[in-house]
Amino acid sequence: MNDFESTQRIQRIQRALNQGAEKLPYKVTHRLEQSRLAALARFDAKPNVSVKTLGASLALSGELPLWRQALNFAFPIAAVAIALYAINVSRDKADIDDTAAIDSAMLIDDLPIAAYTDYGYGVFLKNSRQ
């Protein structure tokens, strides 16, 4: 079988297939047309959906690559963790500042004289020395 014969045969098969495709029954061509129009309607509806290109909406739609979807989920979690850590650090700092203020007041010893006449404070000082 040479190339020329092969090419001729392929061309004739192609013509026969094209004739077959042209002579489809009406119910088939009608259904195909309906399918095409429905597909175009979906194409028209697509931009409305693709406007939602922010955040998790696209991640959930599965149109982003896997690493972007993972990033979209990981980023809010990381942000919350960082915020919690910052709150914890700031509260620790506030506690330290308060304690430091009390300590410095005691070291400065600017207690009023009346405090030393207080019986309870006297007991406290006595116990502190022990």
* Interface with another protein (CB under 8 A): 1, 6, 8-10, 12-14, 16-25, 28-29, 31-33, 35-36, 38-40, 42-44, 46, 50
Bin 84: left if φ > 0, else alpha if -120 < ψ < 50, else beta: alpha
Tokens encoding 100: 């430091």
Question: Cβ of residue 84: shortest distance to another protein, in angstroms?
Answer: 39
Question: Cβ of residue 21: shortest distance to another protein, in angstroms?
Answer: 4
Task: List all residues 6 or more positions away from 32 whose beta carbon is below 8 Å from its beta carbon.
Answer: 24
- Closer residue to another protein in complex, CB, 20/112: 20
- Closer residue to another protein in complex, CB, 19/127: 19
- Residue 121, Cβ neighbours under 10 Å: how many? 13
Instruction: Compute the half-sphere exposure of residue 43: CA atoms within 13 Å on the CB side of its CA.
Output: 6
- Closer residue to another protein in complex, CB, 33/92: 33
Q: CB–CB of 52/58 below 8 Å?
A: yes
In the DSSP assignment, the letter for residue 65 is: -
Question: Cβ of residue 64: shortest distance to another protein, in angstroms?
Answer: 13
Question: Cβ of residue 37: shortest distance to another protein, in angstroms?
Answer: 9
- Closer residue to another protein in complex, CB, 22/97: 22
Q: Which helix (H) or strand (E) holds 80?
A: helix 66-108
